[in-house]
Amino acid sequence: MNKVTSALKVLVVDDAPMIVEELCEFLEDKGYRCVPCESGFGAIERFNNDLDIGLVLCDLHMPRMNGIELVQELQRLSGKHRAFEAIMLTGGADKQDVIKALRAGVADYYQKPIDLDELLEGIQRQEAALHEKRKSLQLGHLNQKLQYLSESIDGLYQDLDKVRRAPHLVNSAGGAVDEADRVEMPAIFNQLSPRQLDVARLVGKGQTNYQIACELGITENTVKLYVSQVLRLTHMRNRTQMALALSPGNSGGRHRVAVD
C-alpha cells in the first residue's frame, strides 16, 4: 500500500543532531515531510522561507534561544495571517517550565526519552487542530474581503445616488440630460423634487403635456399634476412664466419671477 504523505510540514528543532535525525526519520516514515534544524535562529529562517510548515517540534532547553523564546518569536512573525501549532520536548521535568511553555501558546509537550508512538498520536491531534484553525483563518480572511466588497459596493451606490440626484447630470428617470438641460436652475426651483425638476425642464423646452408624458413614461394626467405642483411651489401663474424662467437666457437665477 502506498504511504500517504501529509500536506503538513514539521519543523524539527533540537541542538542535538542525533535527535533531529531520529525524529525526522521516524516522522518521514509515517508520511510527514520534515525540515531539520539545530538552532532557534536557523528555525526562524526556515519557518519564514517555507509556508508549508505548520507544526513546530522543538526542544525546550537550547543555547542562545530556548524553545519558548522560539515559539514566541514565530507567533510574532505569523501575526494573524499564519497558523501553526507547537509541541515542546523537554529532558527535564521542571513543572514551572512546562507551565510557562503552555502559557506561551505551546499546544503540548513530551518528556525525553520520547515514546515515538505517543508523539505520533500527539502530532496527528495537532494536525487536526491546525486544520480547523486554518479553516477559521481562511473564513476570517473571506469575511474581511466580503466586508471590503460590501463597503465598496455601498460607496458605489452612494456615488450613483449622488449622480442621480444631481439636477444637471441625470434626470429622475435615470436618463442622461442633454446639453440643452445643462443650464443653472434659478434658486426658486431648488425646493423641487427630482421628478418635478424634470417636468419643469421639459416645460421650459416648450414640450406639451403629452410629449412630457411620453418622455418620462408617465400619464398625461400625472404631468398635469406635476405642473400644478411646480407652479404652486414657485408661486408662478402659468406654464408660460415657468418656461420663461427656465429659458437659457434667464438661467443662473437672474430672471426675476413675479409672485402673486
Q: Output the pLDDT for position 241.
A: 87
Q: Which residue has the higher pLDDT, 152 or 32?
A: 32
Q: Which residues contact 7 (CB under 8 A, 6 or more apart)?
A: 52
| Res 70: pLDDT | 96
pLDDT in tens, 183-238: 566 788 888 888 888 898 898 888 999 999 898 888 888 889 889 999 998 888 89
Do 72 and 185 share a domain, yes or no? no
User: Distance between CA 14 and CA 87 in Å, rounded?
Assistant: 12
Evaluate whether residue 198 is within a structural domain: yes
Contacts of 60-64 with CB under 8 Å at 24 or more apart are 60/88, 60/89, 60/90, 60/91, 60/92, 60/97, 60/101, 60/109, 61/90, 61/91, 61/92, 62/13, 62/14, 62/15, 63/15, 63/39, 64/39, 64/40
Which pLDDT value is given to residue 87?
94
Pull the grid cell for residue 96.
514551572
Q: For residue 184, give the C-alpha cell.
A: 443653472
Cα(89)–Cα(16) distance, integer angstroms = 12
How many domains is the chain partitioned into structurally?
2
Least confident of 1-5, 13-17, 46-50, 139-143: 1-5
Would 170 be classed as within a structural domain? no
Q: Where is 256: in which H helix or E strand?
A: none
Query: 80, 108, 138 — which closes off a domain?
Result: 138
Asked whether residue 202 falls in the same domain as residue 113, the answer is no
Mean pLDDT score across all residues of the chain: 82
pLDDT band at residue 175 under the 50/70/90 scheme: low
Please indicate, yes or no, if residue 167 is contained in any of the structural domains. no
pLDDT of residue 2: 47
Q: Are residues 99 and 195 in the same domain?
A: no
> For residue 216, what is the domain's CATH number?
1.10.10.10
Is 234 inside a domain boundary?
A: yes
What CATH number does residue 58 fall under? 3.40.50.2300
For 212, the 3-state DSSP assignment is helix
Question: Taking Cα atoms as reference points, which of 242, 246, 196 lies closest to residue 223?
Answer: 196
Joined grid coordinates for residue 188: 426658486
- Taking only the tens place, the pLDDT of each residue in 101-146 is 889 889 998 988 899 999 999 999 999 989 888 888 777 767 777 7
In a domain, 204, yes or no: yes
d(CA 85, CA 79): 13
Three-class DSSP category at 184? coil
- CA distance to 172, 174, 202, 210, 241, per residue, from 177 (Å): 10, 9, 11, 19, 22
Q: Measuring CA to CA, which residue among 213, 210, 203 is closest to residue 241? A: 203
Q: Are 115 and 122 in contact (CB under 8 A)?
A: no
> In terms of domains, do 13 and 65 share one?
yes
Residue that finishes a domain, picked among 138, 163, 197: 138
Same domain membership, residue 58 and residue 108:
yes
Q: What average pLDDT does range 48-77 have in this prediction?
A: 94
Domain of residue 45, residue span: 9-138
Q: Which cell is 229 given?
A: 405642483
- Residue at 31: amino acid letter: G
User: Is residue 10 left, alpha or beta, with left meaning phi > 0 and alpha meaning psi from -120 to 50?
Assistant: beta
Q: Is residue 32 in a domain?
A: yes
Considering the domain architecture, whether residues 130 and 46 belong to the same structural domain is answered as yes
* pLDDT at residue 14 is higher than 50: yes
Q: What is the pLDDT of residue 257?
A: 43
Q: What is the pLDDT of residue 187?
A: 80
